[in-house]
Amino acid sequence: VAERPYGVLELELPLRHRDGHRCTVQLTVTNLLDNPAVGGLVLNTRDISERRQLEDQLSHQAFHDNLTALANRALFKDRVEHALARTKRQTPSVAVLFLDLDGFKEVNDSLGHAAGDRLLIQVGQRLVSCVRPSDTVARFGGDEFAVLVEDASDEIDVTQVADRVLEGLRRPFLVNGRELHVRGSMGIARMDSDVEGADQLLRNADLAMYRAKAAGQGGYERYDPGMHTELVQRVQLEADLRKALDEGGLFLHYQPTIDLTSSQITGAEALARWDHPVRGEVPPTEFIPLAEASGLIRPLGAWVLREACRQAAEWQRVARRDKPLTLNINLSGRQLQFPEVVEDVARALRDSGLPPESLVLEMTESVLMDDSETVLDILRQLKQLGPRLAIDDFGTGYSSLSYLHRFPVDILKIDRSFVERLARNFDNAELAWTVVRLGQSLQLQTVAEGVEDSSQFLALRRMGCDIGQGYYFGRPMDGEAMERLLSDELTAAAQTAATTD
Ligand code: C2E
Ligand code: MG
Ligand code: MG
């Protein structure tokens, strides 16, 4: 180039500076031999070290995770694509592992983000140490990591790598002088003839990871095609739920609660119902978790609060009873993680005019096992609005009862399984009795769930349990039926049982 008249040649050269440091220079050679004023080659030299460094840094940043310096999603995907291209004609030998830490949020919440970051860095290092140098470890953001295992022949099963990683995580991490234990849930997807490319392989690993997460802490799942069908159905059901919420496909049933001494109705528990246009009635045990996972729980929960409070306030107005009715509403764990629930409860009370003392908010033990300050703070704020708090399904969750002292709980709802054991044989009463006595000693009101026959009712009454709820007194029913029941004051069943005692 420089040989042609007016040609320009650019070169980049590493040079050593006079002070000894190395730098990169750009050398431009311009052929001005034919230019009568110059008659020679003109050489310009520029130090471009800084620019080069910046470029390197930028391209590194584009492909690496800032925090851990591991590959990021873009680079990982690129590596997967290359690995797939390489193994195209051989037996498929590429596998992807997705790892999501369990309990990382708690670390962040309790020790702060800086500690969380330090933990993530260490987890990254630990992962690298558990795989071979030829495998790629990436962080996708948050507490999500991925490993590309390049020659996972059938013999050296990928599960061995998975085991090694999970085993590696089992050793505690040292952050700020504290030993932290984290677990991970892992999804494994292998390249096989059904998989079309990198995107699909990553999606499969992701799906398997979600399954592992749902199955419990600290394990792994391998992808199988059934997971995909299930996902499609789930996504469909979620869309249907969203629609039902918008278009009034949800409604509430009410189940009466009975004062076991006087046999009078004290109020009702509101239970959400969904009449699906194709599938018929979908049970709340199915659609509540779905709403929790999809973020629909907030609008759904707010709707339940609004509608139930409105209904109960209306009963209160027409029934004119000496004691105000109580209305029990279930709050799911996920709802109680967001401070907005306080606003939703306050608004439902305000708009309906229901006296706050009438409202009981039910939550399961698992909610209270969440040690985070956030939940405790939300419960305190809820409490300040006036409602009482009840522990639902009490006795099924955890052995530690220490949380009862920390949380402002008023009511224990004894799980149905204890009441079930009361049937016929009074010898089985011991457990139920223990729970009732526990409630009494903590000065909490006790409510027995799932009372199905008169012998259970009588046994519970003898134990001094305060309130009962169950098919024996009344199944969950629509608002109109509940209203009729309230105007009758007593359920016929409770009345007969009371007189035959
Ligand atoms: P839960 O709060 O423990 O509600 C009691 C469940 O036991 C209800 O099931 C009720 O129909 C059933 N039940 C009542 N009496 C008896 C009985 O004598 N025998 C038997 N075998 N069962 C009885 P349901 O309505 O299917 O609700 C299931 C769960 O779904 C509820 O358990 C609650 O945790 C949740 N849920 C229902 N509605 C809502 C809601 O609006 N929000 C939230 N977050 N969860 C809800
Ligand atoms: Mg309940
Ligand atoms: Mg319950």
Q: Is the CB of 393 under 6 A from ligand 1?
A: yes
Q: Is the CB of 221 under 6 A from ligand 1?
A: no
Structure confidence by residue, pLDDT tens digits, 394-442: 887 654 577 777 788 999 999 998 898 886 565 667 888 888 998 998 8
pLDDT of residue 350: 98
In this prediction, residue 120 has a pLDDT band, given cuts at 50, 70 and 90, of: very high
Structure confidence by residue, pLDDT tens digits, 260-319: 999 999 999 999 999 999 999 999 999 999 999 888 999 999 999 999 999 999 998 887
Residue 200, both tokens:
């699909």
452 φ/ψ angles, rounded to the nearest 5 degrees: -115, -15
Q: Is the CB of 470 under 6 A from ligand 1?
A: yes
CA of 193 to the centre of ligand 2 (A): 48
CA of 360 to the centre of ligand 2 (A): 10
Q: Is the CB of 271 under 6 A from ligand 1?
A: yes
What is the mean pLDDT of the segment spanning 56-61? 80
CA of 254 to the centre of ligand 2 (A): 11
Q: Is the CB of 415 under 6 A from ligand 1?
A: no
pLDDT of residue 136: 94
Q: What is the DSSP string of 55-91?
A: HHHHHHHHHB-TTT-SB-HHHHHHHHHHHHHHTTTS-
Q: Is the CB of 272 under 6 A from ligand 1?
A: yes
Cβ atoms 94, 80 nearer than 8 A: yes
Per-residue b or e along 264-278, where b marks 16 or more CB atoms closer than 10 Å to that residue's CB: bbbbbbbbbbbeeee
- pLDDT at 375 > cutoff 90: no
Structure confidence by residue, pLDDT tens digits, 128-175: 999 988 899 999 988 999 999 987 765 467 888 889 999 999 899 999
pLDDT of residue 107: 84
In sequence order, the 6+-apart residues with CB closer than 8 A to the CB of 27 are: 10, 11, 12, 13, 43, 44, 45
Atom of ligand 1 nearest to the CA of 452: 18
Closest CA to 79 of 128, 143, 149: 149
Q: Is the CB of 500 under 6 A from ligand 1?
A: no
- pLDDT at 393 > cutoff 70: yes
Atom of ligand 1 nearest to the CA of 476: 11
Query: Residue 187 corresponds to which amino acid?
Result: G
In this prediction, residue 490 has a pLDDT band, given cuts at 50, 70 and 90, of: very low
Q: What is the DSSP string of 176-197?
A: TTEEE--EEEEEEEE--TT--S
- pLDDT at 497 > cutoff 80: no
- Residue with the nearest Cα to atom 42 of ligand 1? 330
Percent of the chain residues past pLDDT 70, beyond the cut = 92
- pLDDT at 495 > cutoff 70: no
Query: Residue 316 corresponds to which amino acid?
Result: Q
Does the reported pTM lie above 0.85?
no
Q: Is the CB of 365 under 6 A from ligand 1?
A: no
Q: Which ligand is nearest to the CA of 302?
A: 1
pLDDT of residue 498: 59
- pLDDT at 180 > cutoff 70: yes
Q: Is the CB of 332 under 6 A from ligand 1?
A: yes
CA of 180 to the centre of ligand 3 (A): 34
Would the CA dihedral through 144, 149, 154, 155 be positive or negative? negative
Q: Is the CB of 307 under 6 A from ligand 1?
A: no
- Residue with the nearest Cα to atom 34 of ligand 1? 330
In this prediction, residue 17 has a pLDDT band, given cuts at 50, 70 and 90, of: confident
Q: Which of 255, 257, 271 to mutate to test the pocket of ligand 1 (most atoms within 8 A of CB)?
A: 271
Q: Is the CB of 281 under 6 A from ligand 1?
A: no
Cβ atoms 186, 99 nearer than 8 A: yes
CA of 415 to the centre of ligand 2 (A): 10
Atom of ligand 1 nearest to the CA of 284: 30
Structure confidence by residue, pLDDT tens digits, 327-368: 999 999 889 988 999 999 999 999 999 999 999 999 988 787
